[in-house]
Amino acid sequence: MTILAAAASTALLAAGCTKGTGEAAQPEANVGTDQNWATVGGGADETSYSRLTEIGTGNVDKLGLAWSLDLPGEVTLEATPLAVDGKIFFPGSYAAVYAVDALTGKQLWKFDPETWKHNPDKMHFSFGANRGVAYENGKIFVAGLDCRLFALDAATGKQLWVTETTPAGSYNICTGAPRTFKGKVIIGNGGADFGARGFVTAFDGNTGKQVWRFYTTPGTAAENKGDPAMEAAAKTWGADFTKAGGGGGTAWNGITFDADLNRIYIGAGNAGAYDPLIRDPGSKGDNLYTSSIVAVDADTGKYVWHYQENPRDSWDYKATPNIQTATLNIDGKPRKVIMHAPTNGLFYLIDRETGKLINQPGKTTLVNWVKDIDMKTGRPNEEPNIRYETGLTEIWPGTIGGHNWQAMSYSPRTGLVYIPIQQIGARFSKRGDASENAFNVMGLLLEPIKQKDGDGHGFLVAWDPIAQKEAWRVKNDNLWNGGTLATAGGLVFQGTAEGTFNAYNAKSGERVWQFNAGLGIVGAPMSFSLNGKQYVSILVGYGGTTAAYGDFMNVGWKYGVQPRRLLTFAIGGTAKLEATPGPDMKVHAVDDPAYVINEADVVAGKQLAVSCAACHGIALQATGTPGPDLRESAIALQLDSLTQLLKTGPLMDRGMPKFDKLTDVQIRQIHAYIRAKAREQLGLRQKDNSRPGNVKL
């Protein structure tokens, strides 16, 4: 930080204090950040809180667009940008890093890890998404989808070093943001849904050399020997669990550094496979450390404590949402706490010194899997038949959770946490009860369901962590929305699936400002100051897990039609966005009338098309991201052009993997299924919403 910039920041904060927004409800010292937004959560505490006050409830109506930057070739944009000393840094869909002048919006440099060239097989394990970069000591750190970790010169974008963070041939992938602390950079990984074993690794920020590694599930007896944390975890698994994979628990998002206690808090993901009888046969153990927050020593990676939110997870519940640290005055005494809203729908307030619950967790959304939490043991008092013991379980929240990776924020001014919430259920079936929306996960049929009032909607929920109750709630039109930013100016910002960027009064929930971004938003905004002026920035690029949810998350955005952008706002901003097409819910299917459908090929193609679902939609119900609607695709209209695309991979650099292991017969079958679904949309064929027939029940 330059002396001039520091002085400007101090003046801005002082000016804000004279305006005031009332006495703070909770201690404000060191919460969040001010001039720079140097990590995805703003400060190391991951509170997504800006101490800046120039933009507030009294003048937010004068907030306008300062500048915008179009990002050709990008699709899903999930990251929260960083702002450091006049530059903005962020990753694109496949971890290409951009550096932008924060005052003008001019692109300064771009670095592309080219995963498609270096490790193309990893493209089969996830859609293109990256949730952020890290900064420390003049370096930018980013992880590619293939889990190579890069250090870049923040001034030039030049690669300083690169290191592999996962073993060769593993199922692990990286979509999360690294974090930096004390000269180190830490990164986790995903892949639990494929049975990968979870772990996080800390590297030296200057050299890229590994400093320590902590596994979130145990390995073999030989691997665990001499490691007390792994030996303890192994006792909660059966003897044969490693035959089914690594157990999951992958830490792909929430990682928080606690400077006060010199600890790292790791949010471990769901267990894999979902069905515990497959994952851990012959056992009824808790399967540590899946679905847990684990505290480790920041210098050594040694285990300190854990709290498991879902013992023996069976529903894709995970502790991966952002983990916030704060000091709260509770019963007249300051307590060092963790605030956490995982996917299971509860809100946990945890003593970060001991890992023990402070109060009874509240329910932030519709929850039917648990009665309450036993405050003596910390274990959930579960409802019956939640692990599909009778062959069928319908559970809320569903697999995307009540709160997922989209960042929640916290304001000490109000004492409230602002959570982007989803409400939708999930049906887990072992007996064949399913539609075409179902995925087959190792013989377990899984699909979203809408049955209850509020299902299919997202909500912005203001939550009181001490009272464990809702302060206010705003209902969004659609299910999958963006993360939040809270500011000392008394505002909460959030983007939505339908493309509005909104500001709310942090105390009341009243919407006080809105901007049409022209495309859905899933990332979280951030705020910074430059030359004494406060700005707010947001990436615009709908996507993520939308295709896998198909029509449940379809808002009408079309692939390649609406530009992806970085938007930056300031008081008095007068820039305008170029008009672009709005949402279009019609499927503009194409057809070749001369093509004769082979019904056996359609049946076989339905089974194979699950390989297309993560990008092109379950049952081909596309959402415009991350891939186009195959029913509308001219390439998929003809068998020869589809075959060439899948066999040779001409669009790999745009995120379309090569499927050279598919046979000509299999490609013909997929083509037949696409043609059948296109004709359904055109009214030329009866609708078939039956599940794929390849499920062994």
Active site residue ranges:
316
Residues 6+ apart with CB under 8 A from 593: none
Residues 6+ apart with CB under 8 A from 287: 217, 236, 237, 241, 247, 249, 271, 276, 279, 280, 311, 312, 313
Cβ–Cβ under 8 Å, residues 189 and 147: yes
Distance CA 146, CA 116 (A): 9
Strands ordered across the beta sheet of 491-495: 49-50, 484-487, 491-495, 500-505, 511-516
Distance CA 494, CA 523 (A): 9
What is the residue type of 164? E
Q: In 3D, which of 278, 277, 269 has the Cα closest to residue 216?
A: 269
Distance CA 83, CA 443 (A): 46
- DSSP structure class, residue 319: S
| DSSP 3-state of 484 | strand
What six digits make up the tokens of 373? 């939490």
Distances from the Cα of 332 to the Cα of 26, 335, 364, 414, 465, angstroms: 11, 9, 26, 17, 15
Cβ–Cβ under 8 Å, residues 368 and 398: no
What six digits make up the tokens of 252? 């792909």
Annotate 201-249 with DSSP letters as a single string.
EEEETTT--EEEEEESS---HHHHTT-HHHHHHHTTS-TTGGGG-S-B-
Distances from the Cα of 679 to the Cα of 231, 333, 412, 591, 630, angstroms: 57, 66, 55, 7, 12
Residues 6+ apart with CB under 8 A from 376: none
Distance CA 618, CA 114 (A): 27
Cβ–Cβ under 8 Å, residues 21 and 488: yes
Q: In 3D, which of 48, 141, 34 has the Cα closest to residue 95?
A: 141
- DSSP structure class, residue 559: T
Distance CA 451, CA 439 (A): 19
- Length of the chain measured in residues: 697
